[in-house]
Structure 1
């Protein structure tokens, strides 16, 4: 059964996600996704041609569409009505062979054969009761396959807003677990060790941790409109983990 906290989080995303926002980010995501998230995720996944991939928490489906465009066989799972419906609409238009399933990641239905890799991009920190979701992702991977996930970096979650206010990054409560109320929906802060220790408890072998900064040339292009962009050059706003599932 889905926890009440997770139901509330899903309802938040359902209520606050607009058609305009999904249309704007339907191809490659927003600025941060295009320049920081997507390149690292795709590098970690490697050549996906002919591989069976699960996009866990696929949102509007843009990562699924990128992966399918590179030759992967993709299943996307998304719990919200609005984003799953949008993803299915795009599949009808584009006919990339993506299957979208509406389901809570903590209660995955039968999705068929195990996946060569599961990618979970910017999802786990948005799930209050997140451990069952990570376990479900790992269990969906074939032995020796990959589990790759991306998070807002737990040490630098409010990088832009604090840089705008103080001209530097400030953090006071790293070791606690707490809710971060956002404009669209909440995220949930927990230390990096929580994710890595849970990954270890599931028997996964860590392959890589990445903390990319924004390329200075890209920052220069937008600095006049957003002077605080240098925070993304100097500090990592996102964290990426690649792990091998035990054979």
Structure 2
């Protein structure tokens, strides 16, 4: 496996085509729209006047949703093209979102502690993911909520193997490996790896969610999307900082 650094991963994700950023600018892609966003927003609860960090905000779609629900949002994104797109959208339709260009492992001073931190589909893309998780927890208020989403470690290749075989197949789990994507690379890590690190950082788990797709939603999705009705492709975790 390639010895990835954060800078290498950032450069890879920063090459995301403009067309893809535009297509997902409103509420993300199909999976985020139907599986991730509803659960994530329910876990966060009432956001009115709450200070929220969107850690690894990408094109800023989630930052804009959070701001629309009354949150005071700071979005951090290291990739140049993604950061520029998010800033551009804020200039077009201001929502008082502050965007900061930085690696999550090297955050500048972001001001007062946050009521909530969201890292949606970010940790799997970061080589130094433990440093990123530590930074997310560190900027929370005591009792603050940390919500993160990852590819479900047990079903990461769900869509492609379902299309090919009509079922889910895997042959390895316990070792870390690369998951190539169209624009970047994610990294497989076990479920226990994520949850044990969360505990080590002084967080108390409050909820795990493994969302499935409603059967009547598949008509709008791509070929093979019916796999998401039967097996979870995403894991959504909510925890509170206790120290």
TM-score calculated relative to the size of structure 1: 0.95
Given that 1:155 and 1:174 are in contact with CA atoms closer than 8 Å, whether structure 2 keeps it comes out as: yes
Counterpart residue number, 1:9 = 9
Deviation at 1:8, TM superposition (A): 0.5
| 2: CA distance, partners of 1:206 / 1:14 | 32
| 1: CA distance, partners of 2:38 / 2:203 | 23
Counterpart residue number, 2:44 = 45
Counterpart residue number, 1:234 = 230
| 2: CA distance, partners of 1:180 / 1:222 | 26
Given that 2:54 and 2:119 are in contact with CA atoms closer than 8 Å, whether structure 1 keeps it comes out as: yes
Counterpart residue number, 2:133 = 134
Stretches of structure 2 that go unaligned for 5 or more consecutive residues are: none
> Which contiguous aligned blocks of 4+ residues in structure 1 show a shift greater than 6 angstroms?
none
Deviation at 1:4, TM superposition (A): 6.2
Count of residues in Structure 1 that have an aligned counterpart in Structure 2: 241
Stretches of structure 1 that go unaligned for 5 or more consecutive residues are: none
Counterpart residue number, 1:194 = 193
* Secondary structure at 1:236 match in 2: coil
Given the superposition, is the C-alpha separation of residues 181 and 84 from structure 1 closer, same or farther in structure 2, using an over 3 Å criterion? same
Counterpart residue number, 1:244 = 240
Deviation at 1:163, TM superposition (A): 0.4
Q: CA RMSD in A?
A: 1.2
Counterpart residue number, 1:69 = 68
| 2: CA distance, partners of 1:4 / 1:197 | 23
| 1: CA distance, partners of 2:229 / 2:181 | 23
Q: How does 1:165-180 map to 2 (within 5 A)?
A: 165-180=164-179
| 2: CA distance, partners of 1:19 / 1:178 | 28
